[in-house]
Structure 1
Amino acid sequence: MMEMQRTGEQLPAYKRKTRQPHRKVRTGCLTCKIRRVKCDEARPLCLRCVKVGIVCDGYPHPANQKKKPLRPLLAPSLAPRTTVTGSHTVSRSPQKILFRNEQENRYFRVFSNESAAQLSGYFDSDLWHRLVLQACESNSSIRHAVIAIGALDLATWKSPGRSPEEKLRRQFAYHEYSIAIREMRNTVSENQLDLRTKLIAISLFICFEIYHGNSASAVSQIQAASAMIEEQCRAWKMDNRASKPPPDIDDQLLESFTELEIQAAAHSGYKMSAQQKERLVCRQNILEYMPEVFSTFRQARATLQLITIRQAHRAIEWGGSGGHIGCTQPVHLTHTEFYSSKADCEEREKRFREYLDWENAFKPLLTQARVSNDKRLFKCATITRLTYLTSYLSMYAQMLSFHDNYYGQTHFLTEIITLVQKLNNSEDTGASPGFSMNNNLVVPLTLVAWRYRHRTLRQEAIRLLLASPRREGLWDGLYIANICQWMAGIEEEGLGSEEYVPHELATTVDATDVDLLARTATLKALRGDKSSPGNCIVIRKSKISW
């Protein structure tokens, strides 16, 4: 009997002790599981998904892992808030999990740690670091839009995204962006959103469209946001009889949309509504109280924005396009006859005094930045000075005779080129992705390369645009540089030692069949032929790529 138990030959099967070999539990990614295909289990992304070109949703927790209580996936900026009351500390924890998978969490952190700083640019702003991230906790549409921008990687704006990793990231970004738009439409239709949340969401949508060069879509959203702000300000003024903006619209948001409104007016030349004209009058009254000395760069920029937006809209009323160049439909800026009546001359002198007052109030900040060893302070001062010069020259050209506005500003054009060169020399290699929501360097260089035809300075402006590719707001520096290069070649044919291109040889350029994905455009130029009888108009056509 003992021998039988020892060998186990006569024991029932359920009493026999068998030793099973240890088998590793293999779990595929969630995407392959849904598709019911075999997963190769590569980490962090399944290579099968990469090859097919679909978004990999990551891997589930191992079945044999001891389950732990789930914690919300929070970025550092969305950590539970702590309130100190007397000797007690009260912490409020989020009520729901913010992210559906690890990818959403990952790209949210990319936005928080990288994209927000890039979008803020040279100037201190709470918009991207604080306002947007706080809104993510309470609004899912804003959160998905933030994740979409984090997945794009702002440094790749000029790349078509050919690598498998870039394709996957962009596909995931488009997926998140579509969710953001769908959820925003649902909440708007149910009247569940306040104006502040709408403006934050629109800022993110505009950023996404600008990244892809969809200027028409971005301009329409800027116009919609501006109309919302005008309506809210008008209602607030009627109810409270106050000239200040409503308290539920942050100053950072107002300044951001003023900047975007300047871009839209200069780029597309859309007409103002009656309410916008009323607001310009209000802005004019505000400018009468301009301080003698600006205390901060933000104060200086906000005041300059008020001057510039009014000037841009006045230029549209005169039949121009705001003084700048659009990146999808370039328009030749025709000369507006200089003022002759007494009222026109008074208006011109008032505008000049306004710019002069601003320049005098900004000088102490500019001097302080130039003697300081703080590189960031120097960049803020230089960008602000460039913005001022661009706005001033755009106004100057609309108010003086043709000879004065085109051929008498060499010292200002030289200063613009010099300041941009200094900024490029002080820029750390790879520090900036060249993508920004604000106007920094592209518009000043475009003013030199497109509008003012100083031959030497124009070539340097084109070189700077090509050497440091930038997309700033609605303007693509590479696109503009290629157009200006082609235009300069046509205008300077047969010239000798002239410093400027003569007025009669100035070229009108129009762009058609602009393909943003293929990055190609067909150009047509109208140029006066100096050698032909009667100075006939010659048509030139070409196709460019950038």
Structure 2
Amino acid sequence: MTEDNFNEGFNDSDCVNVRTKRTRTGGPRSKTGCITCRLRRVKCDETKPLCMRCLRARRECEGYPSIFASAKPWEVVKLFSTGAMIKPSANPRIASNKHAIHSFHFFEKESTKKLAEVWGRELWLKAIPRAAMYSPAMWHAAIAVGSAHEAHWQKNLGAGVHQSKIEWTFGQYNRAIRALTHPDENGNPPSLDIMISASIMFMAFEMLRHEHGKAVSHVKSGISMFQEYRRQIRAGNSGEQEKALIPMSSLEQSLRPATFCNFVSLEEARTELGYYWHSLMDKLHTEFTPRFRAIAEYSESLSRECDVYKHDVTVWLDKFKKLVEGYYSQLVPLSSCQRGDIARLETYALLILQTVETIWCTDESVWDKHLNRFDRILELCRIAASSDQFGDPQCDMKKTDAYCGFQLGNGIVAATFHTIWKARAARIRQKAIQLLRAYPRREAMWDAPMVVTIGEQIDEIERGSENLYDAALRDAPADDIPIWKRVRSIGIKFGATSRVAELTYSIPKSPVGDTLVEVRRRICWNMD
């Protein structure tokens, strides 16, 4: 889809009509409101980056007056690459439409802040926005990330995203990739710093889509290019080192698997754990699959890799414990936002350990040995969920991990779902369901009411006629549910337009043998 096609879905005919002289209705017009509310001549609530009035009305919020109108041109600097030195291309935003400008504005004001928390302030707050002013590849990549991040944020707040915008976002992503495969207007290929930076941008884009394998693939591409750069430096073939548009030192820091002797901040702890988490997610989708685990020559190697993950995350937990103890020893109490961040990080560290410790087990009874850990995960999820509630001036709900998209996993709902499924002790399962009922959150594809409905179905299939509430009252142990009645796998197919889904549960056919049968259920849920 081209930008012209996209504009057809966002024509300004309505805007022309509202400019004609007519009796004004609504509240007083604000000079500092969003563009959409100003054109509609209604009072804007001035929520940033997008006003809630537009979102509630299902309108496309055009954001706030662009900073570009008063921005000074960036200074021209030379690019450093291992090949020929090139001059910056003409400013790519000159020919861009208002939607591209808006998405870049969102990227510059919102996305870069969240990315800077994970991969370094100098790179994301300064170098990459500056590079986007000169490089078409970086410009379109920034627009794609900004548009995807905004769509992710809108969906988490319950607002719909028009299909044309989704297609347009992917169009920007593809244009960024194409720009890297063609010479610029001066006939020069993209410089190495732009190539490496683009790989990091593509990683951020795929993280928003929860495509862990693709995100890690882009990181590996950037690392390979940087290793080639280092080889040329050692061989003395890099030419005269001039000032790079994006400093190589910043890129190296972002691409290097971050490990620290000791943590001095939550950002350092998040960076290291994030590397372990996304690396493991990639392994689960590529190498840690049943097909590879069944091959003896791979099995031993993969088992050793799991041992490495277990060791690294155990060390991470020790360092994290010292960091948290240091925070609590300070005179200034932690904000609820900080407590929530601490709880989320520990949650995903425990999930990594649980994953690598059980990945080789086909016996469902192995989960019965993890009940204490399940209890701890639920307590951490409760702390994280309560910290996301409105009211704490230091904790903006939109800026927490659950609403960021670049951070670990999917907030607390995915972790709670795993607990509901695998913790067969009635008290723990009931506690997890009650937690999601108390905090009916939406985190990416995870709706808390949906997970509650699935959890109740799982318990009905496994437990039979006894009600979960009654079983929890008598503290029914996990082994009350026979191994052959336990759900082995769950498939979910979402409806196209409403909150409906079809679930496929795989369970053993009988107490003996390995034959599985499928149980299909259709569910509907509400999200208030």
Q: 2:443 aligns with which of 451, 471, 475?
A: 471
1:368 aligns with 2:365: no
Secondary structure of the equivalent of 1:392?
helix
Distance 1:415-1:231 versus aligned 2 partners, 3 A rule: same
1:250 aligns with 2:251: yes
Q: For 1:182, give the aligned amino acid.
A: R
> TM-score by structure 1 length?
0.60
1:10-409 superposed matches below 5 A: 39-42=16-19, 73=68, 80=74, 96=91, 98=93, 100=96, 104-117=100-113, 128-147=124-143, 150=146, 152=150, 154-158=152-156, 161=159, 171=164, 174-175=167-168, 178-179=171-172, 181-182=174-175, 184-190=177-183, 192-194=189-191, 196-198=193-195, 200-201=197-198, 218=211, 221-222=214-215, 224-232=217-225, 235-236=228-229, 247=248, 250-251=251-252, 253-254=254-255, 291=261, 293-305=262-274, 307-308=276-277, 317=287, 319-320=289-290, 353-372=311-330, 373-375=333-335, 376-398=337-359, 402=363, 405-409=366-370
Secondary structure of the equivalent of 1:540?
strand
Q: Quote the offset at 1:449 in angstroms.
A: 2.6
> TM-score by structure 2 length?
0.61
Q: Quote the offset at 1:437 in angstroms.
A: 2.0
Secondary structure of the equivalent of 1:193?
coil
Q: Which residue of structure 2 lines up, in the alignment, with residue 424 of structure 1?
A: 385
Q: Is the 8 A contact 2:487 2:505 kept in 1?
A: yes
Q: Which residue of structure 2 lines up, in the alignment, with residue 270 of structure 1?
A: none
Q: For 1:192, give the aligned amino acid.
A: P
Q: Quote the offset at 1:353 in angstroms.
A: 5.0
Q: 2:461 aligns with which of 490, 500, 505?
A: 490
Deviations along 1:159-181, one digit per CA (max 9) or x if unpaired, are 7756xxx75xx756754652453
Q: For 2:443, give the aligned amino acid.
A: R
Secondary structure of the equivalent of 2:17?
coil
Structure 1 distance, partners of 2:202, 2:102, is 20
Mean alpha-carbon deviation: is it higher for 395-404 or for 361-370?
395-404
Q: Is the 8 A contact 1:335 1:397 kept in 2?
A: no
Structure 1 distance, partners of 2:294, 2:427, is 22
Q: Which residue of structure 1 lines up, in the alignment, with residue 81 of structure 2?
A: none
Q: Quote the offset at 1:519 in angstroms.
A: 5.3
Structure 1 distance, partners of 2:59, 2:263, is 53
Q: Quote the offset at 1:186 in angstroms.
A: 3.7
Distance 1:37-1:494 versus aligned 2 partners, 3 A rule: closer
Q: For 2:388, give the aligned amino acid.
A: E
Q: Which residue of structure 2 lines up, in the alignment, with residue 541 of structure 1?
A: 520
Q: For 2:320, give the aligned amino acid.
A: F
Distance 1:183-1:382 versus aligned 2 partners, 3 A rule: closer
Q: 1:438 aligns with which of 407, 421, 437?
A: 407
Distance 1:233-1:142 versus aligned 2 partners, 3 A rule: closer
Structure 1 distance, partners of 2:61, 2:379, is 48
Q: For 1:197, give the aligned amino acid.
A: I
Q: Quote the offset at 1:383 in angstroms.
A: 2.7
1:521 aligns with 2:504: no
Deviations along 1:285-304, one digit per CA (max 9) or x if unpaired, are x98xx73x433444444444
1:450 aligns with 2:421: yes
Distance 1:527-1:102 versus aligned 2 partners, 3 A rule: closer
Q: Quote the offset at 1:365 in angstroms.
A: 0.2
Structure 2 distance, partners of 1:345, 1:179, is 41
Q: Quote the offset at 1:498 in angstroms.
A: 2.8
List gaps (5 residues or longer) in structure 2: 1-6, 21-34, 41-53, 78-88, 236-246
Q: Quote the offset at 1:321 in angstroms.
A: 9.9
Q: Quote the offset at 1:450 in angstroms.
A: 3.2
Structure 1 distance, partners of 2:495, 2:202, is 21
Structure 2 distance, partners of 1:56, 1:306, is 35
Distance 1:39-1:486 versus aligned 2 partners, 3 A rule: same
Deviations along 1:252-302, one digit per CA (max 9) or x if unpaired, are 6427xx7xxxxxxxxxxxxxxxxxxxxxxxxxxx98xx73x4334444444
Deviations along 1:321-344, one digit per CA (max 9) or x if unpaired, are 99xxxxxxxxxxx9999xx99x99
Distance 1:184-1:314 versus aligned 2 partners, 3 A rule: closer
Structure 2 distance, partners of 1:533, 1:399, is 21
Largest Rg, 1 or 2:
1
Q: Quote the offset at 1:448 in angstroms.
A: 1.7
Structure 1 distance, partners of 2:369, 2:291, is 22
Quick one: percent identity of the two aligned structures? 15
Q: For 1:420, give the aligned amino acid.
A: C
Distance 1:423-1:41 versus aligned 2 partners, 3 A rule: same
Q: Quote the offset at 1:506 in angstroms.
A: 1.3
1:511 aligns with 2:479: no
Deviations along 1:105-127, one digit per CA (max 9) or x if unpaired, are 45543443344445667997556
Q: Quote the offset at 1:420 in angstroms.
A: 1.7
Distance 1:397-1:544 versus aligned 2 partners, 3 A rule: same
Structure 1 distance, partners of 2:191, 2:117, is 27
Distance 1:539-1:74 versus aligned 2 partners, 3 A rule: same
Give the RMSD, CA atoms, in angstroms: 5.3
Q: For 1:511, give the aligned amino acid.
A: G
Q: Is the 8 A contact 2:509 2:515 kept in 1?
A: yes
Structure 1 distance, partners of 2:231, 2:516, is 55
Structure 2 distance, partners of 1:295, 1:321, is 41
Q: 2:376 aligns with which of 410, 415, 429?
A: 415
Q: Is the 8 A contact 1:389 1:412 kept in 2?
A: yes
Q: Quote the offset at 1:457 in angstroms.
A: 2.6
Q: Is the 8 A contact 2:502 2:520 kept in 1?
A: yes
Distance 1:517-1:387 versus aligned 2 partners, 3 A rule: same
Q: Quote the offset at 1:408 in angstroms.
A: 1.9
Q: Quote the offset at 1:312 in angstroms.
A: 5.7
Q: Quote the offset at 1:534 in angstroms.
A: 8.2
Structure 2 distance, partners of 1:350, 1:207, is 26
Q: For 1:395, give the aligned amino acid.
A: V
Q: Is the 8 A contact 1:31 1:57 kept in 2?
A: no
Q: Is the 8 A contact 1:511 1:524 kept in 2?
A: yes
Mean alpha-carbon deviation: is it higher for 171-180 or for 484-493?
171-180
Distance 1:520-1:314 versus aligned 2 partners, 3 A rule: same
Structure 2 distance, partners of 1:447, 1:317, is 21
Q: Quote the offset at 1:541 in angstroms.
A: 0.7
Q: Is the 8 A contact 1:202 1:221 kept in 2?
A: no
Structure 2 distance, partners of 1:137, 1:477, is 38
Q: Quote the offset at 1:423 in angstroms.
A: 2.1
Structure 2 distance, partners of 1:392, 1:533, is 31
Q: Quote the offset at 1:458 in angstroms.
A: 3.2
Deviations along 1:135-182, one digit per CA (max 9) or x if unpaired, are 3212234434544655645432157756xxx75xx7567546524533
